[in-house]
């Protein structure tokens, strides 16, 4: 991730991302998320609760996995990476949204907007790739158990994680630079609560059809391609499970995959509806609700899905919390 930050700083100096153009808008503002004071307070409280639950829960999952040797396996290594992605994902968007709910400070500079878009896209694309790596891990574990240790060694897992983070970084870097090399003539109000790609493109001057096509192609490659790999992996897993002679074996195999499949369905379902449906069918209100779902709700559900459906994670969380309690009273 530090490498990605360094690359972003270099491009900040060398490319046209922050090009000084007096004709282009330098400051944006988000539209109001709500207008009634009581409604704003309720929204702020609910979103803050989900944000803190997501932040705390995912941090505890990552900590429990890293500090418990029994969970030092490929499946939990990827889960720890997923939790870290979820933390960054929500932190890139939600704090600014919470600020705009309780104050009139809804403005954001062009540079800050581009930075937010970069991190949001970077973490989202990385998650798509990481979910595919997790599906491949389950495929090897169930369909080739005798070769699992060799095919999913620590080195292989680290490479898959690095590829996921690296692909997200490079694609997001290019996409953000491509979009913010455009001029923005106004209006300067973003019809969203963060700097997502479609609402930013809507503010650009002139013909943006090529940019929209590029965004769509990236969405196809970064959403559909990993999703197809996941479908292929679980297709093979299902075929292997159906021919297992032992009902206990089938149940154990399905239970190890069900949590991941649920996370995939929630994340890819909301992401596909947002970025792959026709432009004519986009509605700002629907887009905001979908964005709220895949930024904060799915991150909070990550804790619930993996902790409540996995005995090993629950046991590790209890041990981690108990150790913290003992240390605080020691």
Distance CA 295, CA 286 (A): 14
What pLDDT, on the 0 to 100 scale, is given for residue 140? 92
Cα angle vertex 300, ends 297, 303, to 5°?
145
* Percentage of the chain exceeding pLDDT 90: 20
Structure tokens at 69: 């040797």
> Is 154:220 a contact under the CB 8 Å cutoff?
no
pLDDT beyond 60 at 20: no
What DSSP line would sit under 240-279, residue for residue? HHHT-S-HHHHHHHHHHHHHHHHHHHHHHHHHHHHHSS-G
Contact status, residue 268 vs residue 277, Cβ threshold 8 Å:
no
User: What pLDDT, in 10s, does the model give residues 282-329?
Assistant: 666 777 778 888 788 888 877 777 765 566 666 666 766 666 554 555
pLDDT for 10 beyond 60:
no
Phi and psi, residue 208, nearest 5°: -115, 20
How do residues 70-113 score in pLDDT, each as one tens digit?
888 898 899 899 989 989 988 998 988 888 888 777 888 889 99
161's CB contacts (< 8 A; 6+ apart) are: 77, 78, 81, 130, 133
* % of the chain surpassing 70 pLDDT: 82
Question: 207: exposed, middle or buried (C-beta count within 10 Å: 0-12, 13-18, 19+)?
Answer: exposed
Q: What is the pTM of this model?
A: 0.82
Q: Kindly report which listed range (4-8, 12-16, 161-165) carries the lowest average pLDDT score.
A: 12-16
Summarised one tens digit per residue, pLDDT across range 136-193 is 998 998 888 888 988 999 999 999 999 999 999 999 999 899 888 888 876 788 888 8
Polymer length in residues for the chain: 330
Q: Residue 306 in contact with residue 313, Cβ under 8 Å? A: yes
pLDDT at 307: 63
What are the tokens at 82? 């997923």
| Residue 302 exposure: Cα atoms within 13 Å on the Cβ side | 35
Alpha helical stretches, state H, the chain: 2-14, 37-67, 74-91, 94-102, 110-143, 148-151, 154-180, 197-201, 209-219, 225-242, 247-275, 284-292, 298-308, 311-329
Please give the pLDDT value at position 170: 93
pLDDT at 329: 53
Mean residue pLDDT across the chain: 80
Instruction: Give the three-state DSSP class for 29.
Output: strand
CB 204 within 8 A of CB 182: yes
Confidence of residue 28 (pLDDT cuts 50, 70, 90): confident
pLDDT digits (tens, 9 = 90+) for 105-123: 788 888 999 999 999 999 9
Q: Does the structure show a pLDDT above 70 at 205?
A: yes
pLDDT band for 19, please (50, 70, 90 cuts): very low
């Amino acid at each position: 991730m530090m490498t990605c930050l360094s690359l972003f700083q270099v491009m900040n100096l060398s490319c046209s991302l922050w090009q000084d153009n007096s004709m282009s808008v330098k400051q944006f503002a988000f539209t109001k998320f709500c207008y009634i004071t009581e409604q704003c307070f309720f929204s702020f409280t609910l979103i803050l609760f989900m944000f803190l639950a997501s932040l705390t829960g995912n941090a505890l999952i990552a900590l429990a996995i890293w500090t418990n040797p029994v969970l030092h396996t490929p499946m939990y290594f990827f889960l720890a990476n997923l939790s870290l992605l979820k933390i960054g994902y929500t932190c890139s968007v939600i704090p600014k949204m919470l600020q705009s709910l309780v104050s009139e400070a809804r403005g954001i500079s062009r540079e800050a907007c581009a930075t937010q878009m970069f991190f949001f896209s970077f973490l989202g694309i990385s998650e798509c790739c990481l979910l595919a790596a997790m599906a491949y891990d389950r495929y090897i574990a169930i369909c080739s158990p005798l070769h699992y240790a060799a095919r999913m060694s620590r080195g292989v897992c680290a490479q898959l994680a690095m590829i996921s983070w690296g692909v997200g970084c490079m694609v997001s870097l290019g996409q953000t630079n491509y979009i913010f090399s455009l001029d923005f003539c106004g209006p300067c109000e973003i019809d969203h609560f963060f700097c997502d790609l479609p609402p930013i493109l809507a503010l650009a001057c002139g013909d943006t059809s090529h940019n929209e096509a590029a965004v769509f192609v990236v969405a196809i490659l970064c959403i559909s391609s990993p999703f197809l790999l996941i479908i292929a992996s679980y297709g093979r897993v299902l075929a292997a499970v159906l021919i297992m002679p032992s009902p206990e074996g089938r149940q154990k195999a399905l239970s190890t995959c069900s949590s991941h499949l649920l996370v995939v369905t929630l994340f890819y379902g909301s992401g596909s509806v947002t970025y792959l449906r026709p432009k004519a069918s986009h509605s700002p209100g629907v887009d905001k609700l979908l964005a709220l779902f895949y930024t904060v709700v799915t991150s909070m559900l990550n804790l619930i899905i993996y902790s409540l459906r996995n005995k090993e994670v629950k046991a590790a969380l209890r041990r981690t919390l108990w150790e913290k309690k003992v240390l605080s009273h020691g």
